[in-house]
Amino acid sequence: MRAVESSAASVRDARNWKDEGMSEEGTAMRAVIPIPRRFTVPQRIEHGILAISFTVLGLTGLIQKYGLNPFSERLISLLGGIQMTRVIHRTAAIVFTLLTVYHVIVLAYKFFVRRIQMTMMPCLKDVTDGIHCIGHSLFLCKEPPQMPRYNFAEKLEYWALIWGGLIMVATGFMLWNPLIATQFLPGQFIPAAKAAHGGEAVLAVLAIIVWHFYNVHVKMFNTSMFTGKMTPHQMEEEHGAEWSLVAAGGVSAVPERATVRRRQIIFVPAAIIFAALGAGGIYWGATAETTAISTLPSPASRPQIYSPAVSLPQESAESATVAAPLIPHLIAGQEQCLSCHGKSGLKTIPSDHQGRPVESCRICHKPGPIPKPGPSATPKEKGKSSGPKAVPHATTGPYKNCILCHGLGKLKPFPENHVNTNVEHCTVCHK
C-alpha cells in the first residue's frame, strides 16, 4: 500500500507533463512504464459485432416505430419493404442475443477459471469518484479523482447496456411471439411490451450518441478498442489509480496451469451445455411462430379469384346504421363504462357482453347526441322530458350527499335501478 501511495504521488507530480514541449527526460520516464493491455483481440471483435448489431437494430427499429415519417418511408422502401425491414431487424436481434450468451460464458470463465477480479462491478468508490468528479468540474476540488481500471461512468454505461438488453430481449420475444406470450400473460402485456421496447430503443440510441460518442470520440479520442491500449496521457486522466498501480509494478496474480486445467475440466462441459441451451432457446424463439413477420403478399403475387358479377340491391341508409346504441353522454372522465353498466349498475350490459374489456366498448358504441337536462317536470309533464331531470338546488355543502334525501325510504327516493350508483356519478347526468 505504501508503494502504491508513493507511486500515486509521483504520478500526480508527473501530471504537469504536457504533450507539447515535454522534456526528453519526461518522455523517457513515461516510456519506461509499460502500458497495460486494456482490450484483447476477442474483446475487440466482440465490441465490433455489438456495434454493428446495435446499429442495425436501432436503425431498422426506429423506422418501424416512426413508420409514417417521410424519411422512414423512404428508408423502408430502400431496404426492400416493411417485411424485409422486419427480417433484417430480427436477424440483428438474433446476433445480439447470441452475443449475449457468448458474453455470459466469457464472464463465467474469467470468474470461475481464471479467478480474475471483477473490475466492472460497482463499489462505494464509484460513488465517491462521481461526487469528486462533479466537484472538480465545478472548481471545488483542485485535483480530479484517481479512478480504477473502469471508472464510474464506464460502469454506468456497461450496466445500462446489460439492463437495457434484458428488457429488449424479453419485450422483443413477446412482440415476435404474441400468441405464445398471451398463453401465459394477459393480452395487455403485448401493447405494454411494444411501448417498453420502443421507449428503451430511443433511450439506448440517445445514450450512445450523447454519452458514449462524446466520452470516447469527442472529449478524448480513445483508440484502445482499435489498438488494445490507451496512451499514457489517457491512462493518467481517466484511470489514475490503475496507472499508479502499474507504475508501482503491481501485477495481478496468475493461477498455475495445473489449477486452470483442473477448473477447465469442470467448466468446459457446463459452458457447452449452457451454449447449446442458449442457442436452442434462441432458435425456438425465432421459429415458434411467424405472426409478427408475415405481411400481406404483394398484389402481383396474389392469386386471381373468380367472382361472378352479380347486381345487388342498394343498401338502405336505415339498414346501414350500426345496431349498437349510441353513447348519450360525454366520454371524457367517464371512461370506466362498468361503473354504471356493470352487473349491478344503473343500466347493465347484456349477458353476452360480460367479460369484455372496457377498451372494446367504443368499437361498436359511438358517441351520440347528448340530451340536455330540462327543468323539473310538473305532474302533467312527467314522462315527457327528453333528458335527466335538472338538480333544482345547490350541489355543495349539505346537498352534496344525494343519498340523504334521495336514498331508499327517504324524502324523494331515486328509482330502483339507481341503487348501486355512486354518489359521485349523480351529476354526470343530472346537472
Whether the per-residue pLDDT at 205 is higher than 60: the answer is yes
Tell me the torsion sign for CA atoms 6, 7, 12, 17: positive
Q: How confident is the model at residue 294 (pLDDT cuts 50, 70, 90)?
A: low
Rounded average pLDDT over 159-185: 93
Residue with cell 430502400: 78
Rounded to the nearest integer, the mean pLDDT of the chain is 80
Third-level CATH fold of 8-292: Fumarate Reductase Cytochrome B subunit (1.20.950)
Whether the per-residue pLDDT at 68 is higher than 80: the answer is yes
Whether the per-residue pLDDT at 6 is higher than 50: the answer is no
Spatial distance between the Cα atoms of 202 and 215, rounded to a whole number of angstroms: 19
pLDDT tens-place string over residues 210-248: 999 998 988 888 989 999 998 888 888 888 888 888 877
The pLDDT assigned to 189 comes to 94
Rounded average pLDDT over 355-360: 78
Tell me the percentage of the chain whose pLDDT exceeds 70. 77
Q: How confident is the model at residue 29 (pLDDT cuts 50, 70, 90)?
A: very low
The pLDDT assigned to 332 comes to 74
Domain borders along the chain are 8-292, 336-349+389-431
Spatial distance between the Cα atoms of 55 and 65, rounded to a whole number of angstroms: 15
Spatial distance between the Cα atoms of 86 and 76, rounded to a whole number of angstroms: 10
- The cell numbers describing 184, all together, are 401465459
Q: Are 145 and 131 in contact (CB under 8 A)?
A: no
**Phi-psi region for residue 426, left (φ > 0), alpha (ψ -120 to 50) or beta?**
alpha
Q: How confident is the model at residue 160 (pLDDT cuts 50, 70, 90)?
A: very high
The pLDDT assigned to 131 comes to 95
Dihedrals phi, psi of 183, to nearest 5 degrees: -75, -20
- The cell numbers describing 135, all together, are 466537484
Spatial distance between the Cα atoms of 102 and 95, rounded to a whole number of angstroms: 11
Listed in sequence order, the DSSP H helices in 21-123 are: 24-32, 41-65, 70-78, 82-112
Rounded average pLDDT over 188-200: 95
**Phi-psi region for residue 270, left (φ > 0), alpha (ψ -120 to 50) or beta?**
alpha
Tell me the torsion sign for CA atoms 58, 63, 69, 71: positive
Rounded average pLDDT over 248-270: 86
Highest mean pLDDT among 75-79, 372-376, 392-396, 412-416 belongs to 75-79
Spatial distance between the Cα atoms of 320 and 318, rounded to a whole number of angstroms: 5
The pLDDT assigned to 420 comes to 67
Spatial distance between the Cα atoms of 181 and 170, rounded to a whole number of angstroms: 10
pLDDT tens-place string over residues 98-147: 999 999 999 999 999 999 889 999 999 999 999 999 999 999 998 889 99
The pLDDT assigned to 326 comes to 83
Tell me the percentage of the chain whose pLDDT exceeds 90. 44
Whether the per-residue pLDDT at 3 is higher than 60: the answer is no
Closest CA to 263 of 61, 376, 114: 114
Taking the alpha carbons at both ends of the chain, their separation in whole angstroms is 80
- Supply the Cα-derived Rg of the chain in whole angstroms: 35
Tell me the pTM: 0.62
pLDDT tens-place string over residues 299-357: 566 566 666 665 555 555 444 444 678 887 777 767 778 777 777 666 777 877 877 78
The pLDDT assigned to 383 comes to 47
Spatial distance between the Cα atoms of 204 and 170, rounded to a whole number of angstroms: 16
Q: Are 417 and 346 in contact (CB under 8 A)?
A: yes
The pLDDT assigned to 19 comes to 40
* Residue of 389 and 132 predicted with greater confidence: 132
Closest CA to 346 of 423, 430, 417, 413: 417
